[in-house]
C-alpha cells in the first residue's frame, strides 16, 4: 500500500478554489492520485477524501466508508473513485448529522444533507457510472463534493451550537449517545 500524503488544512487557499474538471482520464498521474487518496483516507481513519485536500484542484474524490476510530458505525463499502462527479437528483428529505473533516481537524459539526442522492461520474477506468446512495454514504458524497466547489462543512452550519470538539464527540460515541 502507498504511504499516505499530507492533507491540507483550513487556511490553505486550494481548499477554497473551484476544482477543474479532469480532461485526461487515462493518465498514470490520475491513477496514482486515486491510489493516494484511497491510502490516505484509510490511514487517516476517514471515509472519503477529495483531490483538493491533497493539493490538486481537480474534480476527483473517493468515497471509502468503513467502520473506523472516527466513524465506528459507518457502513462498509469498496473504496470508489469519482471523477467529474455530478449530482443528478436528490431527495426532498434532509437529515441533520455530525460530520468531521480531515482538513478541519479537532472539530465536528451538525450539518443538514439530503438523505438520498443520485450521482453520475466517471470511474477510474473511464466508464460513466450512475449511482444512488442513501444516508451516511450520501452524506459522504455531499461532503466531498463540497470540497470540489471550494466549501467545507463549516460553511453549512446553521448555528455555532452545532459545533463540538472531536474529543467531546468521541466521549459521546463511547457513551453510546452517537
Catalytic residues: 144
| 2: Cα within 13 Å, side-chain hemisphere | 15
Alpha-carbon span 36 to 51, nearest angstrom: 10
Q: Which three cell numbers stand for residue 47?
A: 471515509
First to last CA, the chain: 32
Q: What are phi and psi of 60, to 5 degrees?
A: -140, 135
- Residue 157's contacts (CB-CB under 8 Å, 6 or more residues apart) are 109, 110, 111, 163
Sheet with 94-101, edge to edge strand ranges: 94-101, 104-114, 163-165
**For residue 140, which phi and psi values (nearest 5 degrees)?**
-60, -50
* SS3 call for 76: coil
Among 2, 13, 19, 9, residue whose Cα is nearest residue 146: 19
Amino acid at each position: 500500500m502507498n504511504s499516505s500524503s499530507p492533507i491540507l488544512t483550513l487556511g490553505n487557499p486550494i481548499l477554497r478554489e473551484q476544482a477543474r474538471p479532469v480532461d485526461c482520464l487515462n493518465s498514470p498521474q490520475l491513477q496514482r492520485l486515486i491510489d493516494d487518496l484511497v491510502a490516505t483516507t484509510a490511514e487517516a481513519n476517514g471515509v472519503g477524501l477529495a483531490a483538493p485536500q491533497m493539493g490538486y484542484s481537480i474534480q476527483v474524490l473517493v468515497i471509502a466508508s468503513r467502520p473506523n476510530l472516527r466513524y465506528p458505525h459507518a457502513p462498509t463499502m469498496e473504496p470508489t473513485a469519482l471523477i467529474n462527479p455530478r449530482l443528478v437528483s436528490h431527495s426532498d428529505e434532509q437529515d441533520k448529522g455530525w460530520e468531521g473533516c480531515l482538513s478541519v481537524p479537532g472539530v465536528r459539526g451538525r450539518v443538514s444533507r439530503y438523505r438520498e442522492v443520485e450521482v453520475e461520474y466517471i470511474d477510474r477506468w473511464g466508464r460513466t457510472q450512475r449511482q444512488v446512495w442513501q444516508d451516511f454514504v450520501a452524506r459522504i458524497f455531499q461532503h466531498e463534493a463540497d470540497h470540489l466547489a471550494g466549501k467545507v462543512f463549516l460553511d453549512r452550519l446553521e448555528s455555532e451550537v452545532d459545533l463540538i470538539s472531536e474529543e467531546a464527540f468521541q466521549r459521546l460515541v463511547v457513551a453510546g449517545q452517537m
